[in-house]
Chains A and B, each alone.
Chain A
């Protein structure tokens, strides 16, 4: 079966750095997405990786290793507004998105 694994919850301190991991087992691979979802709101797009390596976008970076079935989202200079759930999703060989359950990130002052 297809599977996306992420930690359920993480806690970090304002101003620090946090890495949220995502491992996947899917039938084929056509890209990996990270989304941010604040409580009670819609998911919003953060990043897309299809080739191995690091994609940097401001305070957020996303890394992909296709051979290891592994990605991470790196958040730097954490702000209170970064408290949210972070969703990892993989597009499989049928171009369908398979979603992880999300990682709830709690930022403490």
Chain B
């Protein structure tokens, strides 16, 4: 089934530990995104990639890094987790970054940093 796969589904992580959230899409979409969703707030963009080999910073990039070595994969790394990074993380993709290209979302990773 075509779509976006995120792993893990959920994770409890000790503060200070390193963690990589995985995201893979099989729709050959050019653009990919990482968002975090917190109660009472809109989705906030962490990092994005308009095409393989390029990445950009979103609204809340501090403490996170990404890479886009190929079209399908867009991992998000927390170098040293802090409790404020407790959130639900959604990976998304779109055919391109143009006006009317809707985002398709993965099922999310629920991360708790203790």
Interface on A for B, CB 8 Å cutoff? 4, 30-31, 33, 41-45, 48, 50, 87, 89, 91, 95-102
Contacts and interface: CB of A to CB of B under 8 A. Distances in A.
Interface stretch (B13-21, B62-70, B72-80, B105-113): B105-113
What DSSP secondary structure best describes chain B's contact surface?
loop
Contact of A42 (B58, B97, B106): B106
11 contacts: A30-B99, A42-B105, A42-B106, A45-B102, A48-B100, A50-B99, A95-B97, A96-B58, A100-B42, A101-B40, A101-B41
Interface residues of B, number: 20
A100 B45 CA distance: 12
Contact of B43 (A30, A44, A87): A87
B45 A97 contact: yes
B99 A95 contact: yes
B105 A44 contact: yes
Given A87-B43, A101-B40, A101-B42, A42 B90 contact: yes
Given A42-B105, A50-B100, A4 B58 contact: no
